Amino acid sequence: MTRLTAVAGFAVLALATPTSTPTGAATPAPTTPRVAAHVQTIGDGTATSCTSAAVVRAVRRGGVIRFDCGPDPVVIVMQQTAEVLNTSERVVIDGGGLVTLSGGGQRRILRQDTCDETLIWTTDHCDDQATPRLVIRHLTLRDGNATSPDLEAGSGGAISVRGGRLRIVNSHFVDNRCAPTGPDVGGAAVRVLDQYRDRPVTVRGSTFTGGVCSNGGALSSIGVSWDIVDSMFSGNRAIGRGANPASSGTPGGGSGGAIYADGNTFHIRLAGTTVIRNRANEGGGAIFFVSNDRTGTLSIDSSVLKRNPSLGFENFPGIFFLGRGRPAFTDSVLR
């Protein structure tokens, strides 16, 4: 028998223990009550009740965030970037397939940075802490904009993450932007620096379209692994010039039409994923991958990569790869 009780605003699932133990059976270990994640609902059933301010407040409080904006799709134009507090253990933003968060072409949509003291610095090893765990689920993020020339402010048009963990599930990134030039800025949709114990960012069943940035028209990272499954990248562009390090007389950038990744030991896996019609002014119309110490690996399984021009350089169709050995291609199409 189970019963649901409320304790300090949380739901606690109490598991009833047997009143007696059968003869010869081991005495069951005591059961520790589980505290369910705090759940917030944005909206009162109307579209007008779902506001930017409500999203910003909910993200700061943390827990599971859901929306009640009525039966029809709704677009919430963010008037301020929503920021995750580092005291949050888990932040799940679940759009239910009906909610779009828009940067309005003016600002980044969401930010997490465990090394930013203004978001409450919780540890002296801020770039390798387990939390917050940020999950984006059944949500569309579009028209994010991080085009500042500053390195941090110019990367991650929709989402910028440093530290903790990030997971993206059944979500869509559309027409996001970040800085148009520079050798190190990147990630029109998502930019990631550091993940707990170097665990991969996971992407499942998601799409990335129409992103534009100096590097990484969709994703960009430094020293971060990715595990990307059943997803699609199309129409993303890396528009910088001069690569990295920047050629003399150029602003730098232009690599990784869809995905830009560099650093030392990191790993990228694509499975069941389509990468089509992306473009890079320099290297890797689909994927730019440079492991500086040549320890990183790239694995592509049951995927299709085609029509991803690299206008400067590549060593596989649509890919520039420097890592351990060669990329592992299994049951995939590259052309």
- 15 domain residue, yes or no: no
Highest mean pLDDT among 17-31, 52-66, 149-163: 52-66
Q: Is 85 exposed, middle or buried (0-12, 13-18, 19+ CB in 10 A)?
A: middle
pTM over 0.85: yes
- Residue recorded with tokens 């170097």: 198
Does 144 map to a domain? Answer: yes
- CATH number for the domain spanning 239: value is 2.160.20
Residues 6+ apart with CB under 8 A from 127: 114, 115, 162, 163, 193, 194
**Which band of pLDDT confidence, cut at 50, 70 and 90, is reported for residue 14?**
very low
**Domain total for the chain?**
1
| 319 in Cβ contact with 327 (< 8 Å) | yes
Reported as a pLDDT band with limits 50, 70 and 90, residue 30 is very low
The type of residue at 288 is F
Query: Token digits for 116?
Result: 């930013």
Model pLDDT for residues 311-334, shown as the tens digit of each residue: 999 999 999 999 999 999 999 999
Beta pairing partners, 264? none
Domain of residue 46: give its range. Answer: 38-334
Q: Is residue 11 part of a domain?
A: no
* Domain presence at residue 2: no
Residue 62 lies in a domain: yes
Residue 3: is its pLDDT beyond 70?
A: no
Query: Please, what sign has the CA dihedral across residues 114, 225, 136, 191?
Result: positive
Burial label, 93 (beta-carbon count in 10 A; 0-12, 13-18, 19+): buried
Is residue 132 assigned to a domain? yes
**125-168 pLDDT, tens per residue?**
898 999 999 999 999 999 999 988 777 789 999 999 999 999 99
